[in-house]
A and B are shown apart, each in its own frame.
Chain A
């Protein structure tokens, strides 16, 4: 474990807590893409298959349980909670995430480090996570009103993977054999997808104005 990975995990945890706070306290999911939340639930479900078979550490197991529990409960809230579901803008959140899932599955079957069920699922979860934010970014472009919590959520979600990139550089420099192009490239693509959001978010924060994404 290194400081980059730990801060990356904490940033990721913060993003999930910010989202749960928004949904649980103000009972609203306005501006949040259910498609992205479903993709993240799929990411954790396919990445943490070995949660009970391969024990890494107490920290690792606890964090996996937290990410699984929070991602599925957010999907549940947005789909079934009688008040929260009313604030979900179904008409705007129309991204067909199946068009993201299928190519990721095909790519994971072709490009992976080992053709085993667990490894292909792990690789699939990496590819899906790389593109999972797309429905959310599309929704932000459409709905002009990006409230603070949503902006903070997306920012933290993007920042965690940027910190992971520093973690991979650190591990590459300090550990022999630590070379994993698939992880690195999908992590880089994921972070780059946030590039323009980061640009507008930091500018709006510096100029102390509301976050507006160009149409």
Chain B
């Protein structure tokens, strides 16, 4: 979901 899209960064 939208919230997790930037949890793909280190």
Q: Which residues of B contact A64 (CB under 8 A)?
A: 10
How far is it, in angstroms, between the C-alpha of A183 and the C-alpha of B6 when the chains are bound? 9
Q: Which residues of B contact A12 (CB under 8 A)?
A: 10
How far is it, in angstroms, between the C-alpha of A67 and the C-alpha of B10 when the chains are bound? 9
Q: Which residues of B contact A114 (CB under 8 A)?
A: 3
How far is it, in angstroms, between the C-alpha of A180 and the C-alpha of B9 when the chains are bound? 12
| A60 touches B (CB below 8 Å) | yes
User: Quick check: B5 and A175 within 8 Å, CB to CB?
Assistant: yes
Q: For B7, give its contact among A56, A167, A175, A178 (CB under 8 Å).
A: A56
For the complex, count residues of B whose C-beta is within 8 A of A: 9
- Among B2, B5, B7, B9, find the residue whose CB has the most chain A CB atoms closer than 10 A: B9
A/B pair count, beta carbons within 8 Å: 28
Residue of B nearest to A5 (CB): B9
User: Quick check: A9 and B10 within 8 Å, CB to CB?
Assistant: yes
User: Quick check: B10 and A178 within 8 Å, CB to CB?
Assistant: no
Residue of A nearest to B2 (CB): A177
A206 → chain B closest CB, angstroms: 31
User: Quick check: B7 and A122 within 8 Å, CB to CB?
Assistant: yes
User: Quick check: B3 and A113 within 8 Å, CB to CB?
Assistant: yes
Residue of A nearest to B4 (CB): A54
User: Quick check: B7 and A50 within 8 Å, CB to CB?
Assistant: yes
User: Quick check: B6 and A178 within 8 Å, CB to CB?
Assistant: yes
| A63 touches B (CB below 8 Å) | yes
Q: Which residues of A contact B7 (CB under 8 A)?
A: 50, 54, 56, 122
Interface residues of B (CB under 8 A from A): 2-10
